[in-house]
Amino acid sequence: SFRQAQEYCESRGGYLAVIDDDAENTALYDYVMHDLGLEDAYFGLTDEKTEGQWEWVDGSPYWYDNWLEGQPDNANDGEDYALFFYKDTPYTWNDGDFGKDHDTGTVVFLIEWNGQ
């Protein structure tokens, strides 16, 4: 779950990644999708408290985003978590349900430590 991912990150002295600008967005996307060859990865942006009010997990102001056109759409009720998704336009974000629909049961998420 998203909560378990947060707890995992915190137990290692970090938090789910916060993306502040285009450069960081590009670097993280390239690392996940190209360097690691993964299909998706969640990071620390959520609207689980109030639908449509997106918040970074570290309390940073929500001023930067890079949503795919038409996203976020909460298509499956419960799509409260931002992610990179291989089927979407590169470098854009989608909203997802934190892996509830994954066949493998594996969810990839990005950890950040002290702004890195």
Task: For residue range 9-44, list pLDDT tens digits in order.
Answer: 999 999 999 999 999 999 999 999 999 999 999 999
Q: Which pLDDT value is given to residue 17?
A: 97
Predicted local distance difference test score (pLDDT) of residue 90: 97
Per DSSP, 93 falls in state: B
- Residue 34 to residue 2: CA distance in whole angstroms: 24
The pLDDT assigned to 40 comes to 92
Give the pLDDT of residue 52: 95
pLDDT one-digit tens code per residue, 58-107: 999 999 999 999 999 999 888 999 999 999 999 999 999 997 665 666 78
The predicted model scores a pTM of 0.92
pLDDT score for 77: 85
Measure the CA–CA gap between 99 and 69, rounded to whole angstroms.
21
Half-sphere exposure of 1 (CA within 13 A, CB side): 5
Peptide bond into 72 cis (omega under 30): yes
CA distance 13 to 92: 28
pLDDT of residue 101: 60
